A and B are shown apart, each in its own frame.
Chain A
Amino acid sequence: MDMNLTLKIWRQKNASDKGSMVDYKVSDISPDMSFLEMLDVLNEQLINNDEEPVAFDHDCREGICGMCSLYINGEAHGPDRGVTTCQLHMRMFKDGDTITIEPFRATAFPVVKDLIVDRSSFDRIQHAGGFISVNTSGNTIDANATPINKEDADDAFSAATCIGCGACVASCKNSSAMLFVGAKVSQFALLPQGKIEATDRVLNMVKQMDDEGFGNCTNTGACEVECPKGISLENIARMNREYLAASLKG
């Protein structure tokens, strides 16, 4: 059945504007719509009324690019589990609901406009060490020269499925980025190729994370609950072990 909804949306003209919540109404929303398609309906309505549409980030609309980033009714990516905002469907809501929509908030994620935030701090953490230093050449060793235990390979893959959305940061009361950084550190720590630079990698990435103004991890586990890709807390534990070992060494 189609729904009528009240939306309370964060509007902020630009980074220096103060911003505030504004109420909107949308009607005839089908339960089969995605959350972002519902916002498309609102925006079409606003444009037709000569008002400014609501700015939000999105691109793939299938849960993989990590662009969409809405804080819906007090939860990063909304009430469903294991999904990004773009995968959230309106069947999770009911007729007459009021829905609050805010950006992902953190000191290290300043608001750009309305619901869009600047997550370039995540990129800078990756510049600090999220790679293996191997140049492109046609003569690295054969891909099958080093067999890798399937379990390690699978765990490395699971860690590597992080989409860099920032929901973990937005959900954490300390705005910690430990789940995001832990996932990258873990991916490489689990693979033989990654071991060579392990010490520098973890030290540099953690330092950059601190410099960006992300908070400390106090093990509340909120990040894991809201992570759309099921990145596990085990990755934070692994990073802590890596960090300890690296600190002792270097």
Chain B
Amino acid sequence: MSLDSKVPQGPIKDKWTDYKNHIDLVNPANKRNIDVIVVGTGLAGGSAAATLAELGYNVKAFCFQDSPRRAHSIAAQGGINAAKNYQGDGDSTYRLFYDTVKGGDYRSREANVYRLAEVSANIIDQCVAQGVPFAREYGGLLDNRSFGGVLVSRTFYAAGQTGQQLLLGAYSAMNRQIGRGKIKMYNRHEMLDVVKVDGKARGIITRNLITGEVERHSAHAVVLGTGGYGNVFFLSTNAMGSNVTAGWKAHKKGAYFANPCYTQIHPTCIPVSGDHQSKLTLMSESLRNDGRIWVPKHMKDVEAIKSGALKPRELAEDDRDYYLERRYPAFGNLVPRDVASRAAKERCDAGFGVNATGEAVFLDFASAIQRYGKETAHVKGLDENDAALVKKLGQEVIKNKYGNLFQMYEKIVDQDPYNTPMMIYPAVHYTMGGVWVDYNLMTTVPGLYCIGEANFSDHGANRLGASALMQGLADGYFVLPYTIGDYLSHDIRTGPISTDSKEFEEAENDVRKQLEFFVTNKGSHSVDYFHKKLGKIMWNKVGMSRNVKGLTEAIAEIKALREEFWKEVKVPGTNEEYNEELAKAGRVADFLELGELFAKDALNREESCGGHFREDAVELDGEQKGEAKRNDEDFAYVSAWEYKGEPSDAVLHKEELEFKDIELKQRSYK
């Protein structure tokens, strides 16, 4: 099969409008006869389910948590981008488009990114209309903050709980439709396979996580909004249940999987504290608006801080190395995430890490507290030279902006970040790779759509901060509802899809077989044992910095681990009850396949781009010495992998990327 991205003709700024003017529509009466399955109720799935139901389709929505409100979008902290230019600082659709393509290191599809920037402003209008309480200024208008990799302030936020507020907005829109009977909600249901009939996606197989019942659900189209696969690393900022199963099962049924190796390692997370660690916690990038990142300049101070002889705040300014400000004067602490993460790793590898494990740098709010304190004192007509007062006022401002993040930090680390710098280290956070989709967000399986973090979409090799929330809501509120109509317009005479077919039966049987295997295989190790081992291989050999030797080893090790898993995994309990270990076993089985394809993809891509850093692809001299080196001649393509059995047999298809509206340049943040 050749890859057709279905990007419409014409100038980039007219593509989406022209496209909408020319697609086939489904009339309202016919929509009532069409069923759509939406798997996932995060920002992408939740907004899609609500909008499709408003349009009149019959929607069945699924999530594995006990309520749609608990999808992992709830955890997003910092904000959402939109080209509103409320600050009058020169923002525009074009600039957001440009920043996103550049930030993604020129590995995304121009037309999709332009459309994303184009609809971004509508998202903010829609959310405000729903009652999402974004932060406001004293004049009553919406406030903005800045995120990494850009020079304008276009990020809308609700303290450190932006994802929560946006998701509750989408959840409320869903609730209205659930109340009207237009969405049938299936909580605590896990999708375990896609069902294809005559080549088209026509349903899914699910397991009811409470009763263990295996169920068939049919529809005219299936939408996956099932989130990212960062948990292939075991430790990540994702929720415990986040998984790749839906996307991976789709892959096995013919959907190509794109750019699996593009992972975002986020620079500001709370460092690992010990072997018991079950997940990692993000400290939002928005903190880099006000926090300055540093390590000591001299090794003796590193030692003194580690031993507790020296308090970080006591170290003189001159003895600190604000390494981002030093290396990247133009962007300073606001360089993109991949750049900030590698710089932290570089300092820690050189021995300057400031905690017991040597894997932490400081994120310091002292200067921001001073600055805000002085400002507030000045505005209120108080004494700007009263140090204690300035500190108190400054801390209040910081608390207002980031209070919940500071509290989270304090509860985990047991230190007060208002009075001592935070310690942070990079952690796996987001996956730019995912199921390949065309301009319509349709996968290579007709009738199977993929939206949100689960698709490979708009962020190229690196996602800019506050752009995932934007993409999830753009896909669900403003893009998919149009594009899916074009496809469904051919289904108005089809009638209900029966689940009584051999295709459904086969898919159900396969699912049952696997469940049965797990509960009867009396192996010797728990599911977590394997998951943790996989995570170690991924982090050490397919993590922040990759090389041929490590990747080759990783491929062999993951394959061996997978074989051991299928022999030795131990799942207690039965299938006919609530059984978390059983659910985890299925997810880890899929991670063990994805992990290998991930490493294979990283091995294939002999360049450094965005979050994918190859040690054999760096600038050797000049001003950019040591920085990542992209290879546009040979690698300006999307890697879309076709399933052929073992991950090692996967076949590579290339979607060549064209840059007509943006000139390909080396990304410089110097």
Contacts and interface: CB of A to CB of B under 8 A. Distances in A.
Interface in B40-84: 47, 50-51, 54, 65-70, 72, 74-75, 84
Contacts of A150: 136-138, 140
A50 B148 CA distance: 49
A8 interface: no
Nearest to A38: B276
Contact of A188 (B68, B129, B131, B581): B131
A141 interface: yes
A112 B211 CA distance: 10
Main secondary structure of the interface of A (DSSP, over half): loop
A82 interface: yes
B92 interface: no
Given A30-B276, A40-B278, A127-B179, A132 B67 contact: no
B84 A67 contact: no
Contacts of A128: 179
Given A65-B239, A136-B126, A47 B131 contact: no
B570 interface: yes
A66 B70 CA distance: 7
A60 B179 CA distance: 27
Contacts of B74: 60, 64-66, 163
Contacts of B498: none
B239 A193 contact: no
A52 B84 CA distance: 54
Contacts of A179: none
A225 B534 CA distance: 42
Interface string B162-177: 0011001001110110
A53 B173 contact: no
Contacts of B578: 14, 55, 112-113, 116
A244 interface: no
Interface residues of B, number: 80
A187 B124 CA distance: 18
A91 B414 contact: yes
Contact of A157 (B47, B158, B187, B573): B158
Contacts of B51: 136
Contacts of A126: 171-172, 175
Given A65-B72, A120-B187, A57 B125 contact: no
Contacts of B50: 136
B550 interface: no
Contact of B136 (A57, A112, A148): A148
Interface string B325-341: 00000000000000000
A61 B75 CA distance: 10
A114 to B, nearest CB: 8
B408 interface: yes
B573 A140 contact: no
A39 B159 CA distance: 31
B72 A131 contact: no
Contact of A131 (B141, B173, B478): B173
Contacts, number: 213
B75 A65 contact: yes
Contacts of B240: 58-61
Contact of B168 (A58, A87, A143, A160): A160
A112 B176 contact: no
A128 B179 CA distance: 7
Interface in A89-137: 89, 91, 112-113, 116, 118-120, 122-123, 126-128, 130-137
A143 B278 contact: no
A218 interface: no
Contacts of A141: 125, 129
Given A37-B278, A143-B125, A135 B65 contact: no
Given A62-B408, A120-B187, A52 B572 contact: yes
A59 B54 contact: no
Nearest to B277: A37
B602 to A, nearest CB: 28
Nearest to B139: A147
Interface string A175-206: 00000000000011001011000000000000
A158 B165 CA distance: 11
Contacts of A157: 133, 135, 158-159, 165
A34 interface: yes
B175 A131 contact: yes
Contact of B239 (A41, A61, A80, A113): A61
B228 to A, nearest CB: 14
Interface in A188-238: 188, 191, 193-194
A23 interface: no
A133 B528 CA distance: 44
B140 A147 contact: yes
Contacts of A61: 239-240, 278-279, 281
A58 to B, nearest CB: 6
Contacts of B478: 136, 138
Contacts of A149: 140
A91 to B, nearest CB: 6
Contacts of A48: 526
Given A59-B240, A64-B161, A143-B125, A135 B54 contact: yes
Nearest to A161: B161
B577 interface: yes
A164 B126 CA distance: 24
Contacts of A30: 274, 276
A162 to B, nearest CB: 9
Nearest to A137: B126
A194 B131 contact: yes
Interface string B103-140: 00000000000000001001011111111011111111
B311 to A, nearest CB: 21
A67 B178 contact: no
Contacts of A80: 411
B511 interface: no
Contact of B164 (A37, A64, A87): A64
B210 interface: yes
Contact of A140 (B86, B126, B171): B126
A53 B179 CA distance: 37
A30 B272 CA distance: 14
For the complex of A and B, 10 pairs with smallest distance between CB atoms:
A147-B140, A131-B172, A157-B133, A127-B179, A143-B128, A140-B129, A156-B133, A59-B239, A65-B70, A136-B51
24 contacts: A30-B274, A34-B278, A40-B528, A52-B572, A53-B581, A58-B240, A60-B75, A61-B240, A61-B279, A62-B279, A63-B408, A112-B210, A112-B578, A123-B178, A126-B172, A128-B179, A131-B173, A132-B172, A138-B478, A140-B125, A149-B140, A160-B158, A164-B67, A164-B69
Interface of B: 47, 50-51, 54, 65-70, 72, 74-75, 84, 86, 119, 122, 124-131, 133-142, 158-159, 161, 164-165, 168, 171-173, 175-176, 178-179, 185, 187, 210, 239-241, 273-274, 276-279, 281-282, 404, 407-408, 411-412, 414, 477-478, 481, 526, 528, 570, 572-573, 577-578, 580-581
Given A59-B239, A137-B126, A163-B164, 20 more contacts: A36-B278, A47-B572, A50-B572, A52-B573, A53-B580, A59-B241, A61-B281, A64-B74, A66-B70, A127-B178, A133-B176, A134-B173, A136-B126, A136-B481, A138-B119, A149-B140, A156-B133, A157-B133, A161-B164, A193-B131
